[in-house]
């Protein structure tokens, strides 16, 4: 036979043969059958195919432990508690674990193989993050440029803390060639698990906001991914100073309703400052005032910075930062201490931080999400 054909053919056949042997052995040897995973003391139980690394096994079940290297054991990010004895730490794990972590049975999920029933512990937040195929149930105009969009999760339930956000997946449209994701705080309350409500303001030129305002219709489908974020109420007795502008209302709507309905964090007084330019930009006024009327520890301050001529306005006027400054100095009892909760444009957040710093609110006690 022609050596040009014979050489490659032999190599190819030999490789194929060896690959076949490996594949057959893999099927025979790496078969541990169905194995049980008990997560967080039995809160969640999974039946999985044994034989692969814990990291990949969990990912196949939709639980994503963060991993930067994709399971090659070179980043050390996929740490998790394995309570079952799976043997001593491997030399591939030890460089990433401190002696304390080793004593606590922390392992790298990419190095631990699932061979038998395992008992593991994961941060709760990890298995709450999911992709929800949602349907737009209702779109309501709150102002001329802010829409309230209610999504129906089709029977699925989302578990989140008030103040967290979801990413919406915007499909390609018009000249936007690829799918994009944008983060929005949820304005729905956590008790309402089958729905997610978002407040979306039209940003001129914004990819996602333009899509939502110009294209999205009731009945449309859209994927939501979440929940994410650590913008939530801190468990301290300090008084909450919440400041929002525009669609920054969203997380506070969720937080306030949640606190009022469940009586959570009963020691905290809440002051909520909501700023808008003109009466046309103001929304949820009646809802917030009604809430303040029935809930003694909640105080609502709405302010217009430039009330239009002829607009009737009985609330405060002035920049929200000036109003905030005045209230901190004159009206709010400083003895429990203050915590700042901000949601709005970066400009508003910076200005509010300056005011709070001036009034001795520690920088480490001012919380906000950076995606605004």
Please report, as ranges, the residues that interact with another protein according to CB under 8 A.
3, 6-7, 10-11, 14-15, 18-19, 21-22, 25-26, 29-30, 87-88, 90-92, 113
Q: Which is nearer to another protein, 88 or 296 (CB)?
A: 88
Query: How far apart (Å, rounded) are the C-alpha atoms in residues 116 and 225?
Result: 32
Least distance in angstroms from the C-beta of 94 to another protein: 11
Least distance in angstroms from the C-beta of 51 to another protein: 10
Structure token digits, residue 369? 């999400």
Least distance in angstroms from the C-beta of 55 to another protein: 17
Q: Which is nearer to another protein, 13 or 221 (CB)?
A: 13
Report the Cα 72 to chain-centroid distance in Å: 27
Of 307, 301, 347, 304, nearest to 327 (Cα)?
A: 301
Structure token digits, residue 362? 């520690």
Least distance in angstroms from the C-beta of 59 to another protein: 21
Q: Which is nearer to another protein, 1 or 34 (CB)?
A: 1
Would you say 239 and 337 are in contact if contact means Cβ atoms under 8 Å apart?
yes
Count of all residues that appear for the chain in the document: 372
Least distance in angstroms from the C-beta of 109 to another protein: 17
End-to-end CA distance of the chain, in Å?
A: 70
Q: Which is nearer to another protein, 55 or 212 (CB)?
A: 55
346 Ramachandran zone, left/alpha/beta (phi>0; psi -120 to 50): alpha
Question: Checking DSSP bridges between strand 165-170 and strand 180-185, what pairing results, if any?
Answer: antiparallel
Structure token digits, residue 366? 């001012």
Alpha helices in the chain (DSSP H): 3-29, 54-60, 99-103, 207-214, 249-262, 285-294, 320-330, 346-358
Q: Which is nearer to another protein, 57 or 143 (CB)?
A: 57
Least distance in angstroms from the C-beta of 7 to another protein: 5
Least distance in angstroms from the C-beta of 18 to another protein: 4
Compute CA distances 66 → 70, 79, 100, 108, 338, whole Å: 9, 9, 21, 11, 34
Q: Which is nearer to another protein, 14 or 221 (CB)?
A: 14
Q: Which is nearer to another protein, 21 or 68 (CB)?
A: 21
């Amino acid at each position: 036979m022609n050596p040009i054909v014979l050489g490659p053919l032999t190599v190819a056949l030999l490789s194929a043969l060896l690959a076949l042997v490996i594949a057959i052995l893999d099927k025979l040897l790496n078969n541990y059958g169905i194995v049980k995973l008990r997560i967080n003391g039995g809160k969640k139980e999974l039946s999985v195919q044994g034989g692969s690394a814990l990291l990949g096994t969990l990912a196949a079940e939709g639980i994503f432990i963060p991993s930067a290297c994709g399971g090659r054991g070179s980043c050390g990010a996929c740490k998790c508690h394995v309570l079952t004895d799976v043997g001593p730490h491997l030399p591939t794990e030890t460089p990433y674990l401190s002696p304390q972590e080793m004593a606590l049975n922390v392992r790298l999920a990419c190095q631990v193989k699932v061979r038998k029933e395992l008992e593991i512990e994961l941060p709760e937040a990890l298995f709450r993050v999911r992709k929800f195929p949602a349907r737009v149930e209702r779109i309501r105009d709150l102002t001329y440029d802010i829409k309230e969009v209610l999504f129906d999760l089709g029977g699925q339930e989302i578990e989140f803390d008030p103040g967290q956000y979801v990413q919406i997946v915007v499909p390609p449209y018009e000249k936007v060639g690829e799918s994009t994701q944008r983060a929005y705080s949820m304005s729905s309350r956590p008790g309402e698990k089958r729905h997610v409500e978002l407040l979306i303001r039209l940003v001129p030129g914004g990819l996602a906001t333009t899509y939502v305002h110009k294209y999205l219709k009731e009945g449309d489908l859209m994927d939501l991914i979440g929940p994410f974020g650590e913008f939530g109420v801190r468990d301290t007795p300090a008084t909450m100073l919440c400041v929002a502008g525009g669609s920054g209302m969203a997380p506070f709507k969720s937080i306030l309703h949640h606190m009022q309905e469940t009586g959570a964090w009963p020691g905290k007084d809440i002051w909520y400052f909501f700023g808008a330019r003109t009466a046309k930009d103001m929304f949820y006024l009646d809802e917030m005032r009604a809430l303040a009327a029935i809930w003694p520890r909640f105080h609502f301050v709405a302010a217009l910075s430039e009330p239009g001529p002829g607009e009737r306005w009985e609330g405060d006027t002035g920049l929200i930062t000036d109003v905030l400054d005045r209230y901190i100095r004159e009206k709010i009892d400083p003895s429990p201490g203050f915590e700042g909760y901000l949601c709005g444009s970066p400009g508003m957040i910076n200005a509010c931080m300056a005011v709070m710093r001036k009034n001795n609110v520690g920088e480490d006690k001012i919380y906000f999400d950076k995606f605004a």
